[in-house]
Amino acid sequence: MNNFVLRHVKRVNEEKIDIVIEDGKIAKVEKDGSGQGKYVIDCSGMYVSSGWIDLHVHAFPEFDPYGDEMDEIGVKQGVTTIVDAGSCGADRIADLVESSQKAKTNVFAFLNISRIGLKRVDELSNLQWIDKEKVVQAVKEYKDAIVGLKARISKSVVGESGIEPLRIARALSSETSLPLMVHIGSGPPNIEEVIPLLEKKDVITHYLNGKQNNLFDEKGNPLKVLKDAIRRGIHLDVGHGTASFSFQVAEAAKRHHIDLNTISTDIYRRNRLNGPVYSMANVLSKFLHLGYSLDEVIAAVTSNAANWLEKPELGRIEVGDAANLTLFTVRNEPITLIDSEGHKRVANKTIEAKGVVANGEYIEC
Ligand SMILES: [Zn+2]
């Protein structure tokens, strides 16, 4: 099926259109009901956006617990582009890139500064595992796939190494001209020591975590380091995960008008099957419930992510671009949502992924 039309889809702004796909590309965007194609897919009642992008996933199935199959967390969930968040370091990045070529989902990666990646979950506890030459070499060899460097800076990962791995990451960032994605969590190191080392374009992932050492004080006010980071142009990424999303913190962030940058899942096998992540759509429903508009929520998995990646074509619907689209519904149906702390909220709107077009191929969810 290389020529088809998605008929009666609506954009997030409710405008109804038809989208004609030909030879993998968006061939035409036409008035509702007027698009012609060999096959017609009736999408009445569905929204369309450019294909969802998940900036933080674990897509290297061999590693346990943080691993999963690319298409299970990608196209089957409505996500056409995933970014592996440092599952692999220099030792295994070649294997990740190789398996990405067989996936229908588009795959990019943050390279873990530890050569062993998430083969162990204390990958920065031994500084010997940071091999600077290997990092630089891997970045050169896989420059099309690698979009940044990953450093997990929390107690159980760094052990006795403290803040040193972040200093090394900073130096590697200048050497490779790649931004950092820094995972935050329990200390030490103290969050007030971590954040000042970040620069414009770097990503804080897990910014809504509810652990001690998070980015808000007991009253729910954002710490000065967070406000300064936002001013410096540091990118905030959700990275929901098993342990890193708190409704209470997210409600505080909303109250303080902290804009959404990207919503990502930090999904892997276990938190997909058993929660609290389940799917990208489930995570998006949480943000709709928090009071962000549908437009803001969808931008956080389309244009905002595409802009960060400096791949604007992944965040728009434009004739001539490769066809990467997500079809979804928003139903007025109650849903019970659960955060990483076990706290629940009952929402009255449910986002559900219905299908994708991934590089021109239509796949139902
Ligand atoms: Zn992660």
pLDDT for 309 beyond 90 = yes
Interval between CA 364 and ligand 1 midpoint (Å): 27
Tell me the one-letter amino acid at 197.
L
Interval between CA 186 and ligand 1 midpoint (Å): 14
Sign of CA dihedral 240, 128, 201, 226: positive
Q: What is the mean pLDDT of residues 285-298?
A: 98
Interval between CA 57 and ligand 1 midpoint (Å): 6
Interval between CA 4 and ligand 1 midpoint (Å): 37
Interval between CA 300 and ligand 1 midpoint (Å): 18
Interval between CA 254 and ligand 1 midpoint (Å): 23
Interval between CA 5 and ligand 1 midpoint (Å): 37
Rounded to 5°, angle at Cα 146 from 119 and 134 = 60
Q: Does domain 3-49+319-329+355-364 have CATH number 2.30.40.10?
A: yes
Confidence at residue 169, expressed as pLDDT on a 0 to 100 scale:
98
Q: At what angle do helices 280-289 and 247-255 cross, to 10 degrees?
A: 50
Nearest to 184 by CA among 211, 161, 222: 211
Interval between CA 56 and ligand 1 midpoint (Å): 6
pLDDT for 19 beyond 90 = yes
**Where along the chain do the CATH 3.20.20.140 domains lie?**
50-315
CATH number (3.40.50.300, 3.90.1150.10, 3.20.20.140, 3.40.50.720) of 50-315 reads 3.20.20.140
pLDDT for 64 beyond 90 = no
Interval between CA 244 and ligand 1 midpoint (Å): 9
pLDDT for 318 beyond 90 = yes
pLDDT band at 2 (very low <50, low <70, confident <90, very high): confident
**Where along the chain do the CATH 2.30.40.10 domains lie?**
3-49+319-329+355-364
How do residues 191-232 score in pLDDT, each as one tens digit?
999 999 999 999 999 999 999 999 999 999 999 999 999 999
Interval between CA 264 and ligand 1 midpoint (Å): 10
Helix, strand, coil fractions of the chain, as percent rounded to 5:
30, 30, 40
Interval between CA 115 and ligand 1 midpoint (Å): 16
Interval between CA 38 and ligand 1 midpoint (Å): 42
Q: Give CA–CA dist 74/103, Å, rounded.
A: 9
